């Protein structure tokens, strides 16, 4: 018998080796593959697809291996299953015996005979009796006062450990069961109840708490159901919004595609028109050449005439083509539509480039300049107009462009319209009252030889108010001339305007670089929020304060920094590259500027001058006086200090230097380039010029 049990145990220890790694059950018709591993035939065929790999060691087989039943392993598995069934039956018998023993142990026996089942427990004798040994309690009057109860198995646990009496009372103050002697001694004066009453009270409290828990659980489940509904609503709303966004962007894409196609067609039509004009002129010139060649041949024939009398009688007049002076026609693609399409494309690209640089939350107010918070939120619809001068792409003309942004808040769209107002040749002074407009391609040149003739339809002389290819340049202004681009006069204060007044006074950058000065930032003056890097040529704002030592020169209140070099004579020029056009100031300051007071900010005192970008507004500040300027949004700013001339000019540096403000003030002491920054991450860099 022991040998059989030992063989069963040894066989049961092989359970892991006799288990299929796919279904995790004992093998059913086991098969062996070339790598040596075994699997159920059905499991392997179900999961095996090309390429054929071993599910256990991942060995690759180029062709499907032939599967054969492993008879030895199959016999062992059958024996294992048989032993498993026998073990399960034996375990069920043992469980039945254990349950019966437990049931027998649960029966309370008579404490006298220790065999019969107890019928009652006497709380006076503290003993359980069967029916036979309970007879004295039932028949003898001496035991009449003894209290009999149902059989109790934990009778000893109900005895007081101090007085060995039954704990038939419950102390409410100390929350514990007590006996009658405890009530007279240690718990004298305490309120008490019976254990049954205390149980009822405890059950009532627990039921109340159970009701609270049930109510809370129901409330939480209700909220969870609502949140699930809300989650479904959010997903549905997200799907709708995505579809709306896709539709809007697709509509914008279609609009841009249509505009691109229209612009290309306009160029093609202009090419065809110009080609037609050139063909007509070429045909005219070819006819003139044929007429003059015929006259030339006739003259040569007459010159070869041998008879003098006949030669002298010949008379010949030159053809009319001789009186026509050939010219190169002034034909180009600078028509109204082509120029308008070019201007629109460049302006729209610049506008979108600046717009996309901003966070999404701040794009809407920038796309709708001049609106209030109510309009930005979609309450109203306000048209915004602006006009500006822009050099034409050909480099030959200045163009006056008028833009209009109409906000359609009902559909949350902005429609931008750009109109070409009129243009000026760059060669003409902008202040000349007799400036001509851009010549029309229809205009033909005058003859350079011969007497002056009245201009024909093809030799129309351009006039100052002539239409641009049939386009009324002042139609958008009610037929009135909106004015030429103004010229900045000396000592003239710059007022807010949509027209940059710097075209006439633009300077070559090479002329300014003659006064270039190398500058470095002074760490001793830098506020602790300003980090000075790149060999003291870059200043950036950080969230954490730098570990600078305290010194009298350091700015304490405002995040500002000065350069280590000041100027008290001569002309000096430097350039600054800006990381952004917001919350940044560039200026000059005396070394005596306050470093700790509330008026230490640049331009808010008599010791400093500053041009400052605050949100979308550009202002010039000195002694707390503000002058609002037209914002050119420069990426690089140049400053020319003329100490003896008592002025400092600020330039928007691009292909040329365009001045946008000049401070005029008699300097009393050396002035230092100064910078103010506020937004975290913004920076200025002193350019090497």
Distance CA 416, CA 408 (A): 11
Is the pLDDT assigned to residue 606 strictly greater than 90?
A: yes
Q: Give 313's DSSP letter.
A: T
283 and 400 assigned to the same domain: no
User: Does residue 608 carry a pLDDT above 70?
Assistant: yes
Q: Is residue 494 part of a domain?
A: no
Higher pLDDT, 376 or 553: 553
Q: Is pLDDT of 424 > 60? A: no
The number of helix segments (H) and strand segments (E) in the chain equals: 11, 27
119-123, 416-420, 529-533, 572-576: lowest mean pLDDT where?
Answer: 416-420
Which three-class secondary structure string do you get for 351-409?
HHHHHHCCCHHHHHHHHCCCCCHHHHCCCCCCCEEEEEEEECCCCCEEEEEEEEEEEEC
Q: Which domain holds residue 258?
A: 211-313
Give the pLDDT of residue 680. Answer: 83
Tokens read off for 527:
């506020």
Residue 503 pLDDT class (50, 70, 90 cuts): low
Q: Does 659 share its domain with 557?
A: yes
Of 163, 178, 193, the one marking the end of a domain is 178
CATH of the domain at 133: 4.10.830
DSSP-derived secondary structure for 453-519: ----TTSPPP-TT--SSS--TTGGGTTS---PPPPPPTTPPP---SS-TTSTT-B-HHHHGGGB---
The answer on 112 and 40 residing in a single domain is no
> Which residues are CB-contacts of 339 (< 8 A; sequence separation ≥ 6)?
392, 397, 399, 420, 423
Residues 396 and 524 in one domain: no
The answer as to whether 491 is a domain residue is: no
Q: Is position 489 within any domain? A: no
Can you tell me the mean pLDDT for 49-64? 85
Picking from 454, 477, 500, the residue at the C-terminal end of a domain is: 477
- What phi and psi, each to the nearest 5 degrees, are found at residue 461? -80, 130
Torsions phi, psi for 618 (to 5 deg): -110, 130
User: Who's near 660: CB < 8 A, 6+ residues apart?
Assistant: 494, 500, 502, 611, 618, 629, 630, 632, 634, 650, 651, 652
Domain count within the chain: 5
Residue 322 or 591, more confident: 591
Give me the phi and psi of 381, to 5 degrees please: -125, 115
pLDDT > 90: percent of the chain:
31
For residue 220, tell me if it sits in a domain. yes
Confidence at residue 52, expressed as pLDDT on a 0 to 100 scale: 84
Question: What is the rounded end-to-end Cα distance, in angstroms, of the chain?
Answer: 105
* Mean pLDDT over the full length of the chain: 77
Output Rg (C-alpha) for the chain, integer angstroms: 53
Cα(317)–Cα(473) distance, rounded to whole angstroms?
48
Q: What is the DSSP letter of 159?
A: B
Residues 100 and 111 in one domain: no
What is the residue whose two structure tokens read 């890097």?
533
Q: Is residue 197 part of a domain?
A: no
Question: Are 225 and 294 found together in one domain?
Answer: yes
- Could you give the CA distance from residue 523 to residue 533 in angstroms, rounded to a whole number? 10
So what's the pLDDT on residue 647? Answer: 93
Residue 540 contacts residue 683 (beta carbons within 8 Å): yes
Whether 203 is in a domain gets the answer no
Q: Angle, to 10 degrees, between the axis of helix 195-303 and the axis of helix 336-356?
A: 150
**Cβ–Cβ under 8 Å, residues 29 and 41:** yes
pLDDT value at position 476? 36
User: What is the rounded average pLDDT of the residues 14-28?
Assistant: 83
Domain co-membership, 136 together with 149: yes
Any domain includes 442: yes
Mean pLDDT score, 487-515: 60
Query: Do the beta carbons of residue 663 and residue 622 sit within 8 Å?
Result: yes
Collapsing DSSP to helix, strand or coil, 248 comes out as helix
Q: Are residues 525 and 669 in the same domain?
A: yes
* Among 181-185, 317-321, 507-511, the range of highest mean pLDDT: 507-511
Q: Tokens for 669?
A: 């002491």
Res. 477: pLDDT tops 50: no
Asked if residue 457 has pLDDT above 80, the reply is: no
- Report angle CA 191, 195, 197 to the nearest 5 degrees: 80
Per-residue pLDDT tens for 104-119? 556 888 888 888 888 8
Rounded CA-CA distance 192/169 in Å is 7
CA dihedral 56, 62, 64, 65 (to 10 degrees): -70
Measured distance CA(562)–CA(673) in Å, rounded: 6
Residues 665, 608 share a domain = yes
**Do 516 and 662 belong together in one domain?**
yes
Alpha helices in 304-321 (DSSP H): 308-312
Q: What mean pLDDT comes out for the span 64-79?
A: 85
Residues 410 and 430 in one domain: yes
pLDDT of residue 519: 94
Residue 65: which CATH number?
3.30.40.10
Domain boundary among 281, 313, 345: 313
> Do 145 and 171 have their domain in common?
yes
pTM over 0.85: no
Contacts of 159 (CB under 8 A, 6+ apart): 126, 165, 166, 167
Rounded distance between C-alpha atoms, residue 468 and residue 446, angstroms:
19
Helix or strand (DSSP H, E) at 579: none
Mean pLDDT of the 633-659 span: 93
User: Could you count the other beta carbons within 10 Å of the beta carbon of residue 126?
Assistant: 16
193 part of a folded domain: no
Q: What is the pLDDT of residue 93?
A: 64
State how far the Cα of 541 lies from the Cα of 431, in Å rounded to an integer. Answer: 44
């Amino acid at each position: 018998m022991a040998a059989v049990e030992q063989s069963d145990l040894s066989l049961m220890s092989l359970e892991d080796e006799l288990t299929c790694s796919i279904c995790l059950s004992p093998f059913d018709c086991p098969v062996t593959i070339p790598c040596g591993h075994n699997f159920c035939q059905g499991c392997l065929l179900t999961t095996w697809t090309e390429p054929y790999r071993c599910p256990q060691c991942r060995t690759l087989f180029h062709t499907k291996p032939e599967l054969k039943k492993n008879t030895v392993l199959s016999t062992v598995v059958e024996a294992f299953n048989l032993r498993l069934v026998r073990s399960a039956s034996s375990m069920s018998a043992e469980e039945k015996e254990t349950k019966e023993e437990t049931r027998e142990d649960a029966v309370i026996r008579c404490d006298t005979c220790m065999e019969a089942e107890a019928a009652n427990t006497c709380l006076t004798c503290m003993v359980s009796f069967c029916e036979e040994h309970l007879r004295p309690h039932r028949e003898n009057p001496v035991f009449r006062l003894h209290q009999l109860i149902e059989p109790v198995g934990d009778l000893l646990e109900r005895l007081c450990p101090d007085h060995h009496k039954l704990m038939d009372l419950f102390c409410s103050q100390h929350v514990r069961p007590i006996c009658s002697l405890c009530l007279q001694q240690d718990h004298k004066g305490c309120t008490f109840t019976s254990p049954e009453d205390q149980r009822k009270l405890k059950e009532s409290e627990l039921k109340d708490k159970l009701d609270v828990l049930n109510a809370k659980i129901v409330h939480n489940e209700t909220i969870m159901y609502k949140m699930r509904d809300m989650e479904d609503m959010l997903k549905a709303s997200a799907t709708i919004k995505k579809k709306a966004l896709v539709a809007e962007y697709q509509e914008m894409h279609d609009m841009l595609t249509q505009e691109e196609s229209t612009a290309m067609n306009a160029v093609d039509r202009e090419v065809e028109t110009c080609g037609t004009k050139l063909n007509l002129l070429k045909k005219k010139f070819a006819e003139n050449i044929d007429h003059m060649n015929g006259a030339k041949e006739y003259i040569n024939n007459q010159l070869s005439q041998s008879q003098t009398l006949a030669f002298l009688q010949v008379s010949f007049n030159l053809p009319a083509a001789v009186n026509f002076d050939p010219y190169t026609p002034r034909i180009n693609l600078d028509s109204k539509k082509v120029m308008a399409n070019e201007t629109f494309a460049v302006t729209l690209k610049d506008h979108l480039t600046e717009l996309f640089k901003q966070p999404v939350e701040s794009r809407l107010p920038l796309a709708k300049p001049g609106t209030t918070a109510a309009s930005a939120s979609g309450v109203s619809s306000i048209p915004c107009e602006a006009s500006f001068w822009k050099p034409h792409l050909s480099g030959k003309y200045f163009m006056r462009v008028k833009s209009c942004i109409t906000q359609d808040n009902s559909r949350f769209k902005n429609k931008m319209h750009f109109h070409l107002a009129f243009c000026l040749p760059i060669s003409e002074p902008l202040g000349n009252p007799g400036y001509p407009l851009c010549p029309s391609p229809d205009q033909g040149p005058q003859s350079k030889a011969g007497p002056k003739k009245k201009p024909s339809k093809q030799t129309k002389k351009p006039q100052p108010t002539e239409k641009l290819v049939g386009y009324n340049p002042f139609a958008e202004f009610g037929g009135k001339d909106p004015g030429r681009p103004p010229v900045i006069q000396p000592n003239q204060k710059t007022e807010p305007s949509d027209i940059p007044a710097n075209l006439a006074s633009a300077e070559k950058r090479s002329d300014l670089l003659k006064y270039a000065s190398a500058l470095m930032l002074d760490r001793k003056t830098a506020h602790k929020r300003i980090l000075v890097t790149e060999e003291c040529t870059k200043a950036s704002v950080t969230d954490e304060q730098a570990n600078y030592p305290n010194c009298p020169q350091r700015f304490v209140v405002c995040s500002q920094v000065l350069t280590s070099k000041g100027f008290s004579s001569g002309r000096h020029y430097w350039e600054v590259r800006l990381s952004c056009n917001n919350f940044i100031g560039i200026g000059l300051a005396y070394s005596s500027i306050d470093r700790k007071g509330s008026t230490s900010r640049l331009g808010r005192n008599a010791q400093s001058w500053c041009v400052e970008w605050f949100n979308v507004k550009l202002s010039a500040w000195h002694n707390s006086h503000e002058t609002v300027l037209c914002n050119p949004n420069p990426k690089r700013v140049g400053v020319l200090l003329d100490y003896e001339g008592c002025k400092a000019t600020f330039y928007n540096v691009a292909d040329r230097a365009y001045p946008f403000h000049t401070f005029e003030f008699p300097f009393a002491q050396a002035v230092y380039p100064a910078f103010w920054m506020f937004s975290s991450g913004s920076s200025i860099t002193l350019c090497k010029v």
